[in-house]
Amino acid sequence: MTIRYLTIAGIATRLGISPTSAKKYADDGRLPEPDAVTGDGPRAVRGWLPETIDAWNAARPGHGGRPRKADRED
């Protein structure tokens, strides 16, 4: 059986965020440790199991940022 891992692009798609944001999360240490790494050095590819990302996403606090315009008091 082949194990399928999510790349940064796959995480972005799964979470509905941009690949740039997903890469920043990974580079800043905000994502969990990868479940697999292939290769060495700067060309290494990190991979996460879908259930790892789903559990992390379910447990993380609010998404931060500014309140939506409809929610703000101006």
Alpha-carbon radius of gyration of the chain: 15
| Helix H or strand E encompassing 47 | strand 45-47
Q: Note the pLDDT tens digit of each residue in 14-52.
A: 999 999 999 999 999 999 999 999 999 989 999 999 999
Question: Domain extents for the chain?
Answer: 8-59
pLDDT in the model for residue 21: 95
In sequence order, what are the residues at sequence separation of 6 or more whose Cβ sits closer than 8 angstroms to the Cβ of residue 24?
30
**Model confidence, pTM:** 0.78
Phi, psi of 34 (to 5 degrees): -65, 150
Phi, psi of 70 (to 5 degrees): -65, -25
